[in-house]
Amino acid sequence: MCGIFGGRGGPPGPSLSFVNDQNEPRFRIRARHTESTITVYQAYRPEIGGPAARHGRFPSSWKRDRMTWIKPSFLWMMYRCGWGTKEGQETVLAIEISREGFHWALRNACLSHHVPALHGEAADWKRQLRQAPARVQWDPERDLYLNPLPHRSLQLGLAGEAAARYADEWIVGIEDVTPLATEVHALVRAGELDAAAGLLPEERPYPVEDEVLAPLRA
């Protein structure tokens, strides 16, 4: 099976100017996607990440009873896992999932923080948060130096039914992109930013109905 990124012959990554675009909307999902899938990132210890990449599904040791966070932004994942150097996050995975599953999660998600204009009383928000199988938070997007940018990157937490659907139904393919993370990091450290940017996954604005995102943008 071909890798998610299609090797060196695949489409080029975004230009450095796009990564640092000061005019980017504060809340917008940017991702590598096709007509039927979207790619998200996670990082695991090798005992989890290795088998997942080899078999295209998580091994039995993957904890279904814990919330798992998926991230459409490669650079935010690099910030979170330290380019794959943090303990327990040494294997970086690109996980291609169905758009249908991703949209289901968004439609059944609750913001991870209370916004009175959206939720009313804090007690109402807490009740929604407990009942929701998914939650959304927006964290500053990152540049190649992993510094925060003005616009935000979506993080999507999955628990309960959402985590089970993710593991059993939504996954189309899993690829170990730790070598890519290592290569991009080396180029950044060498000051070769254009070359590093050219290797980044092509993350484009991802279309989502405004009625779905409106309750999640804050």
**Sign of the CA dihedral running 168, 40, 66, 57:** positive
Specify the pairing of strand 134-142 against strand 109-111. Answer: parallel
Confidence (pLDDT) at 122? 76
Q: What is the average pLDDT value for the chain, to the nearest integer?
A: 88
CA distance 126 to 112: 9
pTM over 0.85: yes
DSSP state of 27: B
CA distance 216 to 214: 5
Q: Rounded distance, CA 99 to CA 121, Å?
A: 32
pLDDT greater at residue 211 or residue 55 = 55
Highest mean pLDDT among 12-21, 104-113, 125-134, 191-200: 191-200
What is the tens place of the pLDDT at every residue in 153-204?
Answer: 999 999 999 999 999 999 999 999 999 999 999 999 999 999 999 999 999 9
The pLDDT value recorded for residue 10 is 38
Cα gap 74→92, rounded to integer Å: 10
Distance between CA atoms of residues 160 and 132, nearest Å: 9
Q: Which residue, chain included where needed, has tokens 């980017």?
A: 24
pLDDT band at 132 (very low <50, low <70, confident <90, very high): confident
**Number of residues that this document lists for the chain:** 218
* C-alpha–C-alpha distance, residues 49 and 46, integer Å: 5
CA 96 to chain centre: 10
Higher-scoring residue by pLDDT: 96, 18: 96
